[in-house]
């Protein structure tokens, strides 16, 4: 036999539990969202702090490196400045020394050139003195003499012409007479001087002969193309007379060497003979012989000395 069982089940407790569970889930959701937002904010703050710290550390590192480089560069610059200052002081000392030397040398050369200018001025004055004296003294004197002592042809009146001619002829005769007297006096003085010189020289005579040594240079030149030998003698100008030079040249023509090729050996032999006869000390004679033995003839392009 069938029966129907009616059961009433109440869902209110479950609904209440679900409602409570929903409120808890909503609270949890809100907490999770809040925690996520707080986590994001914390991460952002931490990242910002880390970035700020990294930037500050990098800035400090770069600033420290720049400070070190600046300090190193400043020390180098200070050292260079001190070195440049030292060089500048040395250059100033050198400049001052060179300035003093320049002024001293300039003063010395100024004195030298001033003395040279004065010497040249005096020499030029001496060279031009004759011409200057001729132009300033002798020419006016000659002109006055010519005007005063010459023949004048003035134009006068007919009444006084004879008297003027007599005066002019008198002046001419006086000038002529004075010139003749001066020439006669000069001739008399010349004759007196000549007579005195003749009287002095005629009464003198050489009692004893004396040997005098004269320095001379013997020169012998050979022609390159022809077999011709030319010999000459040179003596000092203050002794240079034709008679002495001719006499020495005649003796020079007689000199020959042992082998006949040159005359240097013969000249040395003559010099040694003179040294042996001269009254000299042994040291002087030995030194002269040593110099004579070590001497060599001077070779020229077309001859030998």
E-only strand ranges, the chain:
217-222, 229-234, 303-304
Helix (H) or strand (E) holding 221: strand 217-222
Q: Where are the alpha helices (DSSP H) in 134-160?
A: 139-149
Asked if residue 218 has pLDDT above 80, the reply is no
pLDDT at 296 over 60: no
d(CA 207, CA 51): 137
Name the residue ranges covered by the structural domains of the chain: 17-111, 150-200, 217-304
For the cut 80, the answer to whether the pLDDT of residue 238 exceeds it is: no
When pLDDT is cut at 50, 70 and 90, the band that residue 93 belongs to is very high
Give residue-wise pLDDT tens across range 142-188.
Answer: 777 666 655 555 555 666 767 777 777 787 788 788 888 888 888 89
In whole angstroms, what separates CA 266 from the centre of its chain? 49
The model carries a pTM of 0.29
Q: Which residues contact 208 (CB under 8 A, 6 or more apart)?
A: none
């Amino acid at each position: 036999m069938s029966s129907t069982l009616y059961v009433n089940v109440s869902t209110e407790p479950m609904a209440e539990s679900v409602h409570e569970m929903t409120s808890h889930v909503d609270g949890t959701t809100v907490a999770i969202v809040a925690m996520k937002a707080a986590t994001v904010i914390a991460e952002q703050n931490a990242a910002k702090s880390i970035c700020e710290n990294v930037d500050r550390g990098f800035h400090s590192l770069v600033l420290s490196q720049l400070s070190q480089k600046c300090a190193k560069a400043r020390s180098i610059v200070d050292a260079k400045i001190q070195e440049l200052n030292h060089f500048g002081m040395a250059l100033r000392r050198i400049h001052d020394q060179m300035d003093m030397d320049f002024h001293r040398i300039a003063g010395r050369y100024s004195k030298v050139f001033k003395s040279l200018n004065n010497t040249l001025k005096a020499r030029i004055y001496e060279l031009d003195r004759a011409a200057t004296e001729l132009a300033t003294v002798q020419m006016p004197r000659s002109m006055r003499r010519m005007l005063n002592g010459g023949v004048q042809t003035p134009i006068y009146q007919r009444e006084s012409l004879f008297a003027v001619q007599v005066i002019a002829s008198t002046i001419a005769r006086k000038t002529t007479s004075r010139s003749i007297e001066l020439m006669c006096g000069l001739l008399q003085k010349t004759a007196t001087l000549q007579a005195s010189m003749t009287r002095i020289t005629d009464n003198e005579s050489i009692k004893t002969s004396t040997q005098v040594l004269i320095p001379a240079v013997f020169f012998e030149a050979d022609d390159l193309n022809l077999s011709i030998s030319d010999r000459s003698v040179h003596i000092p100008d203050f002794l240079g007379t034709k008679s002495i030079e001719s006499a020495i040249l005649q003796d020079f023509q007689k000199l020959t060497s042992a082998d006949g090729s040159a005359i240097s050996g013969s000249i040395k032999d003559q010099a040694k003979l003179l040294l042996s006869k001269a009254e000299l000390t042994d040291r002087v004679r030995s030194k002269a012989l040593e110099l004579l033995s070590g001497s060599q003839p001077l070779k020229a392009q077309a001859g030998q000395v």
